[in-house]
Amino acid sequence: MYTLPNKLKLFATIFMVVGAIGIISGFLTTPSTTAEVKEMMADAHHDEGTAGDHEMMKDEHAGGHDETKASHGVSSDNAHDNEEEHLLHTLHQMQNRPWSALYIASFFFFMIALGTLAFYAIQYAAQAGWSPVLFRVMEGITAYLPIASVILFVLLLLSAFGVNHIFHWMDPELVDVNSDKYDKIIDGKSGYLNVPFFLIRAAIYLIGWNLYRFYSRKYSLRDDDATDNRWFKKNFKMSAVFLVFFIVTESMMSWDWIMSFDPHWFSTLFGWYVFAGMMVCAFTVIAMVTMILKSQGYLEYVNDSHIHDLAKFMFAFSIFWTYLWFSQFMLIWYANIPEEVTYFVTRIEDYKLPFFGMLVMNFVFPVLLLMNSDYKRINWFVVMTGIVILAGHYVDVFNMVMPATVGKSWYIGLPEIGSMLFFFGLFVLVVFTALAKAPLLAKNNPFMKESKHFHY
């Protein structure tokens, strides 16, 4: 039996406390008036980039409106109104920032647990012979799913009740034909994108995924003391059904919880794109947790071939993710349809470093470091690559959320770092606590003997 070290518990708790302080500070330092926004934008010591944008904005307004006044007689009051409108828009973006940072971190660690659950189900449904020695590691990681589901659903509820405005389409004025803010495109999607149906779908996804997680874990533990294969067969059948449910609901979840941040834009590849990122993060975390336990003297039957196969999945799904990224980007860029390219134009112009940086981290690093078969057996090599992959996909989620919610008002600060630290600490604490609750070997799995002697 694995015992949770006190040092690890303290480590996770410190991360959570420091992260919580960062999150709270992020909310407390968010401006509440346009006057505060103006002051923050003018303060070069606070943020040179934001101040530079503000000066450019002022120059554009001053120059543009001076010329207009000279030629068309537009009053200075009109120029002032435009500047106030710009400041109000920036205020809303800045107020969205801590919420967006919190959402990104919660979703990222949630998708690791969900991806691990899907991989676990695939192993059962495929009756894989190499992986049963890793089942308890996967079960430990999926223990984070219930907690992550509650947190994420609360964040969705807060958006639905207007506590934050990260989901732009939830504004009721956008579907009111008598409003100045009326948006014909969003109104056309309102049959699907409406708050009650949105929350009902979210509840269905989360309940379905967590029910499978609960019963698969229950049957796995019962199988330890069983004298036949009935619990394994139950898990096999349930996993096959779950995978059908998962592949549909995962795609819909990606539309609802990520793509709807940009309600004017859509991509038929998006569900697969999110799935690929989710799975490569899951493989990476499974490998890293396995190597941590192995280094502490546990998982005696895990050998270099198991690590090799996990690293092989990391490599393969990094290539798959890149293929989907390129397919989506290339087709939209080549077609050059205005309502499609706006998604990438915004990210290339305003998020150049994270946009292209995550491409290097998610594709170039895994290809260079994991292409050689021998490197996949070297633990520190896999760990180093895994850290880069996880950081790259965190930035990928950042790129999917921030441009639509925060726009140009983004930077890496207290809410972003605090959110990441808090959820990392929570994830570590929950996962390793769960690992200590059951033996690390699923004893009576019919493929266990094959898994123990697995050699690639």
Q: What is the mean pLDDT of residues 340-352?
A: 92
Spatial separation of the C-alpha atoms in residues 397 and 385, rounded to whole Å: 19
Spatial separation of the C-alpha atoms in residues 294 and 297, rounded to whole Å: 5
* Residue 14 identity (one-letter amino acid): I
HSE (CB half, 13 Å, CA atoms) of 99?
20
Both tokens of residue 102?
Answer: 């919190």
Report the Cα 327 to chain-centroid distance in Å: 21
Q: Quote the mean pLDDT of the chain.
A: 89
CB contact at 8 A, 30 and 95: yes
Both tokens of residue 168?
Answer: 């732009």
Both tokens of residue 82?
Answer: 């435009």
The reply to whether 45 falls in a domain is no
Q: How many domains does the chain contain in total? A: 1
The reply to whether 64 falls in a domain is no
The reply to whether 76 falls in a domain is no
Q: Please tell me the predicted confidence (pLDDT) of residue 363.
A: 93
Q: What is the mean pLDDT of residues 67-86?
A: 57
Q: Please tell me the predicted confidence (pLDDT) of residue 255.
A: 96
The reply to whether 300 falls in a domain is yes
The reply to whether 374 falls in a domain is yes
pLDDT tens figures, 199-258 = 999 999 999 999 999 999 999 999 998 888 999 999 999 999 999 999 999 999 999 999
Spatial separation of the C-alpha atoms in residues 176 and 288, rounded to whole Å: 50
Q: Categorize the per-residue pLDDT at 75 as very low, low, confident or very high, splitting at 50, 70 and 90.
A: low
Report the Cα 194 to chain-centroid distance in Å: 23
Q: Please tell me the predicted confidence (pLDDT) of residue 76.
A: 59
Query: Could you tell me the CA-to-CA distances from 290 to 140, 320, 434 in Å, in that order?
Result: 11, 24, 14
Over pLDDT 90: what percentage of the chain? 73
Give the domain range for residue 400: 95-452
CB contact at 8 A, 2 and 435: yes
pLDDT tens figures, 354-400 = 999 999 999 998 888 888 888 788 888 899 999 999 999 999 999 99
The reply to whether 278 falls in a domain is yes
44-58, 66-80, 163-177, 347-361: segment of lowest average pLDDT: 44-58
The reply to whether 146 falls in a domain is yes
Both tokens of residue 299?
Answer: 């998982």
Q: What is the mean pLDDT of residues 69-75?
A: 46
* Residue 121 identity (one-letter amino acid): A
Spatial separation of the C-alpha atoms in residues 128 and 445, rounded to whole Å: 11
pLDDT tens figures, 297-333 = 999 999 999 999 999 999 999 999 999 999 999 999 9
pLDDT tens figures, 37-67 = 777 777 644 444 444 444 444 444 444 444 4
pLDDT tens figures, 363-373 = 998 888 888 88
The reply to whether 18 falls in a domain is no
pLDDT tens figures, 173-202 = 999 999 888 999 999 999 999 999 999 999
Spatial separation of the C-alpha atoms in residues 364 and 385, rounded to whole Å: 11
Q: Name every residue whose Cβ is closer than 8 Å to that of residue 192 and which is 6 or more positions away in sequence.
A: none
* Residue 410 identity (one-letter amino acid): W
73-77, 117-121, 176-180: segment of lowest average pLDDT: 73-77
H-run or E-run covering 122: helix 76-125
Spatial separation of the C-alpha atoms in residues 212 and 243, rounded to whole Å: 10
- β strands within 76-198, DSSP E: none
DSSP 110: H
Q: Please tell me the predicted confidence (pLDDT) of residue 386.
A: 93
